C-alpha cells in the first residue's frame, strides 16, 4: 500500500485525478479529456506532453492509463490507502460523505434522475476504481450534502406540495464542498470557531452560486433543484421568469430547445454574444464593446442582489468571501459588485483588491468597511481527500 489518497472527479467527457500524501499535501494531478472521442487525450501534472490513450478511450481505459503512469513515475507505489470521489447529487439521502458499498451505490443510482448528466458518469468513475483497487476503501463526497441543513422555508418552492412529496422538487444546492471549504478557511483567517461562523460565500467559476452560512452551516443557497438557478454564469442564465417557457413555446421553441438555450447559450455568453470567459469580457469592455460591458454589469448586479438576499438568513456577518476563477482573480467583478452594496456598509480598498488580498490577509475590503470582504482560493479536492481519509480510517 502507498500512504496516499487519490481524488477522482469523473465528468461527462473528462476525468481528473489528484494525488495527496497522508498529510494532505498534493503531490500529483492528471487529466484525461474528450473521452469517447477520436481525439481523447491525457496529461499529467499540467505537462503539455500528452500521455498516449487508446483511440476513443473511455473513462475506464483512461483511468487505467493514468494510474499506470502514476506507478511508472513512482508517484504511486502500490494501491492508495483511500480513494475519494466527487459525486454531484446526493438528494436527501446524503447529508455528508459516505463510505462506498453496494447500498451507497444503489442510493446514488436512486437519485440519478435528479442529475442525469452527472451521477451516472460519477458512478462510472467509482466502478472503474473498484475494479482497479478492489480492496481500497472508497468514499463519495456530494456537492449537495453541505446544503442539507437548509431550513424547509429555504428549500421549498411555492409549488403544489405533491411536487415535493412525489417528485422531490425542492432546492438542493450545489458547490457544497467549495462553500464548506470557504466557511472553514474564512473562520480560520478571522480566528473564529467554525461553529459560530456567519459567512456569505460566493463561488464564481463557470458555474456560479452563493451561500449563506450561519453557525458554520449552510442555511440558504442560490442554486436549486438543478445547478441552473440563481446567479448569472458562464453559459447558464441563472434566474429567469418561469413564464418564459410558455411564452417561447407559443413561438415554436420546444422544451428541449429552451433547456439548451438556458444551459449552454445564456449567461455571460448569451449577453455578450462573444464568450463566457470573464477575462476576455473585461478586455473587450475596456475597448468599448457594449455587449461585453452589459454582460459584466448584469453579472455583478445579480450577484450584489443575491448578497443582499443572503443577509435575510443571518443575524450577523463575519465576512463576504469570493472564490472560483472569477471570484479569486477578477478585481473588477469584486469592485463592481461591492459598489452596489454601500447601504450594507461594504467598501472595497482598490489597492488590496488589485493585489487580490495578497498583502492584507486575504482582505480586499477597506478598513472602513462594516464587514470584511475576503478572497480565498477554493480547494474542493483537498476537502474530498480529507473526507476520504477520515472515513477510510473511521
Contacting residues toward ligand ADP, per CB under 6 A: 205-207, 234, 277-279, 282, 324-326, 329-330
Q: Please give the Cα distance from 89 to 222 (Å, whole number).
A: 16
CA-to-CA separations, 29 to 54, 78, 173, 215, in angstroms, rounded: 20, 17, 28, 34
The nearest distance, CB 50 to ligand ADP, in angstroms, is 21
Of 215 and 277, nearer to ligand ADP (C-beta) is 277
Of 91 and 324, nearer to ligand ADP (C-beta) is 324
Q: Please give the Cα distance from 346 to 215 (Å, whole number).
A: 21
The nearest distance, CB 325 to ligand ADP, in angstroms, is 2
Of 184 and 329, nearer to ligand ADP (C-beta) is 329
The nearest distance, CB 329 to ligand ADP, in angstroms, is 3
| Maximum pairwise Cα distance, the chain | 62
Of 291 and 325, nearer to ligand ADP (C-beta) is 325
Cβ-based neighbours of 241, under 8 Å, separated by 6 or more: none
Known catalytic residue at 143: yes
Of 207 and 230, nearer to ligand ADP (C-beta) is 207
The active-site residue out of 143, 220, 318, 349 is 143
Q: Would you state the torsion angle of the CA atoms of residues 266, 268, 269, 274, taken in this order, to the nearest 10 degrees?
A: 150
Neighbour-count burial of 19, counting CB atoms closer than 10 A to its CB (0-12 exposed, 13-18 middle, 19+ buried): buried
> Which of 91, 211, 201, 78 lies closest to 148 in space, CA to CA?
91
Of 207 and 270, nearer to ligand ADP (C-beta) is 207
The neighbour count for residue 243, using CB atoms within 10 Å, is: 8
- Is residue 306 within 8 A of residue 312, CB to CB? The reply is no
Indicate the residue whose CB is closest to ligand ADP.
325
The nearest distance, CB 70 to ligand ADP, in angstroms, is 23
The nearest distance, CB 361 to ligand ADP, in angstroms, is 21
The nearest distance, CB 328 to ligand ADP, in angstroms, is 7
Catalytic residue annotation: 143
Amino acid at each position: 500500500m502507498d500512504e496516499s489518497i487519490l481524488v477522482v472527479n469523473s465528468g461527462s467527457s473528462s476525468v481528473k485525478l489528484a494525488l495527496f500524501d497522508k498529510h494532505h499535501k498534493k503531490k500529483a494531478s492528471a487529466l484525461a479529456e474528450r473521452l469517447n472521442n477520436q481525439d481523447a487525450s491525457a496529461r499529467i501534472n499540467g505537462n503539455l506532453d500528452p500521455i498516449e490513450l487508446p483511440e476513443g478511450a473511455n473513462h475506464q481505459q483512461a483511468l487505467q492509463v493514468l494510474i499506470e503512469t502514476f506507478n511508472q513515475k513512482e508517484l504511486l507505489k502500490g494501491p492508495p490507502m483511500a480513494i475519494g470521489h466527487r459525486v454531484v447529487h446526493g438528494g436527501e439521502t446524503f447529508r455528508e460523505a459516505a463510505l462506498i458499498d453496494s447500498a451507497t451505490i444503489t442510493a446514488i443510482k436512486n437519485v440519478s434522475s435528479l442529475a442525469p448528466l452527472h451521477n451516472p458518469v460519477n458512478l462510472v468513475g467509482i466502478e472503474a476504481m473498484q475494479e482497479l483497487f478492489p480492496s481500497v476503501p472508497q468514499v463519495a463526497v456530494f456537492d449537495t450534502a453541505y446544503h442539507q441543513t437548509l431550513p424547509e422555508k429555504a428549500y421549498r418552492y411555492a409549488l403544489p406540495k405533491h411536487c415535493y412529496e412525489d417528485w422531490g422538487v425542492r432546492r438542493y444546492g450545489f458547490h457544497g464542498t467549495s462553500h464548506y471549504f470557504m466557511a472553514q478557511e474564512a473562520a480560520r483567517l478571522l480566528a473564529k470557531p467554525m461553529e459560530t461562523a456567519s459567512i456569505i460565500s460566493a463561488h464564481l467559476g463557470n458555474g456560479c452560486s452563493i451561500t449563506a452560512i450561519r453557525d458554520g452551516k449552510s442555511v440558504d443557497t442560490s442554486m436549486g433543484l438543478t445547478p441552473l438557478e440563481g446567479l448569472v454564469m458562464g453559459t447558464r442564465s441563472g434566474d429567469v421568469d418561469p413564464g418564459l417557457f410558455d411564452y417561447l413555446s407559443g413561438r415554436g421553441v420546444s422544451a428541449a430547445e429552451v433547456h439548451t438555450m438556458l444551459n449552454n447559450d445564456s449567461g455571460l455568453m448569451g449577453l455578450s454574444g462573444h464568450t463566457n470567459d470573464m477575462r476576455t469580457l473585461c478586455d473587450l469592455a475596456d475597448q468599448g464593446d457594449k455587449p461585453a460591458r452589459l454582460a459584466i454589469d448584469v453579472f455583478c448586479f445579480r450577484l450584489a442582489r443575491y448578497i443582499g438576499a443572503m443577509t435575510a438568513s443571518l443575524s450577523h456577518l463575519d465576512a463576504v468571501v469570493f472564490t472560483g476563477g472569477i471570484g479569486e482573480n477578477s478585481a473588477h467583478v469584486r469592485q463592481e459588485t461591492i459598489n452596489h452594496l454601500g447601504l450594507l456598509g461594504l467598501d472595497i480598498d482598490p489597492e488590496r483588491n488589485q493585489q487580490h488580498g495578497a498583502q492584507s490577509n486575504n482582505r480586499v475590503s477597506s478598513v472602513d468597511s462594516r464587514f470584511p470582504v475576503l478572497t480565498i482560493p477554493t480547494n474542493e479536492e483537498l476537502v474530498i481527500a480529507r473526507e476520504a481519509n477520515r472515513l477510510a480510517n473511521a
